[in-house]
Amino acid sequence: MKRVTGFLLVVTVVVLVPNVGSAQTGGTITLSASSDTITFGKHVTLSGSATGAPAGSIVQIRNAGDLLVASVTTDATGDFSAQFKPSASDSYVAVLGDGTSGPVTVGVRAVVSARMGSVRLFDHVVIRGTVDPARPGSPVMVELIKDGRSVETRSVTMGAAGGFGARFTIPKPGTYHARASFSAPDLLRGGARTHADATPLPHLSSGSSGRFVRLLEGRLVDLHYRLVGTTDGRYDFRTADAVVAFHKVQRMDRSNAVSVATWRRLADPIQPHPRRHWQGFHFEVDQTKQVLYTVEDGDITNVLHVSTGAGGLTHDGAFRVRAKIAGFSPNRLYYPSYFDGYRALHGWPEVPTYPASHGCVRIPYWNARWVYGLADYGTPVVIYH
């Protein structure tokens, strides 16, 4: 009996050792994240619990590419945790022996900053910013917003250090801000909004100078009001004449000063159209508006402030330049180009905003020689109301 009992005892020991191993490998391991979304540069904590594992067991945290992210040990209850800063969105599992947890995904949101310069009507505004982490060569979306509505969106390329810049033109009066955003296959969309800034609409008149005068002059030139070569930021008699011509065409008070109403109309102007759509070059004089147009192939290329004959002394009709004098005529007309008897396009010291001549078309002195140079013999001159 003793020999048999000893044999059975040995057999029992051999059978129990595999059962213990089976208990270790049959345990479970879990993993969870402190947050499923974090901002780049912030920490996330991955924690879990391993059942059936002794204290001090090594748990590996691996990402979707099977790269080791962290290595931690279990405590007396089988719990473990690891804190780190992910560089991009990723999925993670905890591995203990031959046991693996279910995956946990942590999304990483890009960090975007943006700032906007001062906004001025018809001027450029630059929006600059940075993206972290930097992804050189990647597109950043920048949007200009006016009074809550999108004006324009541009895709700009990120620089080596994550910087970007976009330039927009301010087309209308209002309050503007900008938004910038960036996303990538491994980064959640991050965005930033700049401060808001309203367009100043300053009063300008003769003697004014500076940036706003240059913006005014540039806009007048864009609209074909005669100021070529004089967009110097000084509000002189030439700027005043162009402003008067603009006010005339816009059916506004014929002032030579700029008001808030002028700025608003400059942003949304009435566009003049020629009476005749001929090929080649001709002059047109609108006696109702008291302006002269130069017209090339049916397009108005210049608009000038003029004064025609009082009491209907300038005749409506289609004429041609028939005579010219370089300099002063005997009756002191400056560089006259005659088109209807003794009626001429000519320079004169006073050019009021209303019909005041004896039948000629008065032109400010500073434009007279330029008009004379365009008025070749036979050039058509169309006069109308």
Question: In terms of DSSP H, where are the helices of the chain?
Answer: 2-25, 211-222, 237-249, 260-267, 365-374
Say how far apart CA 366 and CA 230 lie, in whole Å: 11
Q: Which of 106, 105, 92 is nearest to 39 (CA)?
A: 106
CATH of domain 281-384: 2.40.440.10
DSSP for 277-333 reads --SSEEEEEETTTTEEEEEETTEEEEEEE-B-BGGG-SPPEEEE--EE-SSB-TT--
Chain length of the chain: 385
Pick one of 3.30.230.70, 3.30.420.40, 2.60.40.2470, 3.40.640.10 as the CATH number of 27-108.
Answer: 2.60.40.2470
Task: Please work out, in degrees rounded to the nearest 5, the angle formed at the alpha carbon of residue 243 by the alpha carbons of 240 and 248.
Answer: 125
Specify the pairing of strand 299-305 against strand 291-296.
antiparallel
pLDDT at position 238 over 50: yes
pLDDT in tens, 294-314: 999 999 999 999 999 999 999
pLDDT in tens, 68-120: 999 999 999 999 999 999 999 999 999 999 999 999 999 999 999 999 999 99
Residue extents of the structural domains in the chain: 27-108, 110-198, 211-267, 281-384
- Under CATH, which architecture does the 110-198 domain have? Sandwich (2.60)
Residue 51, both tokens: 């059942």
Task: Please work out, in degrees rounded to the nearest 5, the angle formed at the alpha carbon of residue 211 by the alpha carbons of 209 and 216.
Answer: 85
pLDDT at position 23 over 80: no
DSSP, collapsed to helix, strand or coil, labels residue 218 as helix
Examine domains 27-108 and 110-198 and report if their fold is the same.
yes
